[in-house]
Amino acid sequence: MKLNKAFGSLFLLASLVFVPPVFAGGGGVYVDVTKTDDPLANIVRVYINPALYTCKGINVSLSFLVPEDGDRISGSDSNGSSTINNDPEYASINGKEYLRCSTYLKVYTAHTKLNRILNIYLKGMAGESRQIAFSAGYEPDYNSSLLLPWEDSNYSAPVPQPSNEPVPSANINVWLLDQRFVGQNKREVTVKWGAFGGHSGTFTIYAKQANKNDWDEKFDGSKGPSATFNIKANQDYQIKVNGCMDKWGICVDSNIINLPGAKDDIAYQDFHPKNDVSYVSPTPTADNNNVDQLNEQSSSLSKKVENLQNQLDQSKKTQGVLEQRINDLVNFIKRLFPFFK
């Protein structure tokens, strides 16, 4: 028990030590991990030095370096990140006011485990990124200072140094690779993407039903270039990929692809590979105006069929009268000329 606590304390202390950032001058960011009442839930709060960076508009997103089933990250934004929407606010500590800029996310882990590594991306800060270690399910055994590093009188803020390496184009292009029906109103979907001019990144796949507003996270922490997940078979969906460049920390969304759902059992047969790509044939839908037009066309067609049937019946009657007259004429000739056969 004491040994576990000792290890937990060791790794929790490591949670305050960052892997060196890509860009020099990363001292304007501080990350703190704290526990909640749930032993598998952690609060990751990110503080920004408002003297170095514009606070409002910075977006913070997290991903596990090695994701595991059951891991989940929740932020104030629908895509699992948090955006600072306010200007810096003053915090009173020991009777002195400090200007604070921060936001936080909740990190849920599947089970207690030492030394989980989180990637931290800060969009809007010249590509700043971090990594942080924490131990899930272990209480901290240290007293952290109430002051942030740059609030200490001995702190000397570093001067950010630009990188000589050009930042690649930050774009992601996603497309459908395959989908198949797997039973119980589910289909297995595989999407593929190209991103960042071939530079490495970490990606999260989101899906939402076409008639809803919220995006659901389907796959987190993928290194790509593809991912497979399940969605309902009978619903229309939209799919997108959010990715962050590992070296620059810039995060962007991909284009959105539409995946129509199957409306009946026969349409489920469309969920299978065809030349490496599977397509779902959408079921046509009609609005009220189209329905009225179809009804009018159907009624007009029925009248035309009825008229043709009447003409055919009349023609049969006329043909019958003509045949009868010809037969009467032949019989009359036979009576006048007995030799006529």
Half-sphere exposure of 299 (CA within 13 A, CB side): 6
DSSP assignments along 225-287, one per residue: SEEEEEEESSS-EEEEEEEEETTT--EEE---EEEPPP-STTGGGG-S-BTTB---PPPP---
Extents of the domains making up the chain: 2-151, 172-270, 296-341
Q: What is the dihedral of CA 6, 7, 13, 19, to 10 degrees?
A: 160
CB 82 within 8 A of CB 123: no
Q: Render pLDDT for 49-94 as a digit per residue (tens, 0 to 9).
A: 888 888 888 889 888 888 888 888 988 887 778 999 888 888 888 8
Scan for tokens 């800029």, then name that residue: 101
Q: Render pLDDT for 12-32 as a digit per residue (tens, 0 to 9).
A: 333 333 333 322 234 688 888
Q: CA–CA distance from 275 to each of 25, 151, 177, 278, 324 (Å)?
A: 51, 61, 10, 8, 67
For 65, phi then psi, to 5°, come to -60, -40
Within this chain, domains 2-151 and 172-270 share the same CATH topology = yes
**Could you say which residues of the chain have pLDDT below 70?**
1-27, 126-127, 138-145, 155-165, 221, 248-249, 264-295, 297-298, 337-341
CB 118 within 8 A of CB 62: yes
CB 137 within 8 A of CB 39: yes
Strand partners, 161: 24
Question: Tokens standing for 261?
Answer: 């759902």
Confidence (pLDDT) at 211: 86
Question: Tokens standing for 289?
Answer: 């105006």
Look at the domain 172-270 and name its fold: Immunoglobulin-like (2.60.40)
How far is Cα of residue 98 from the mean position of the Cα atoms in its chain? 39
Is-above-0.85 flag for pTM? no
Ramachandran sector of residue 139 (left: φ over 0; alpha: ψ -120 to 50; beta: rest): beta
**CATH class for domain 2-151?**
mainly beta
Confidence (pLDDT) at 9: 41
Confidence (pLDDT) at 284: 42
Q: Is the dihedral of CA 79, 39, 31, 165 positive or negative?
A: negative
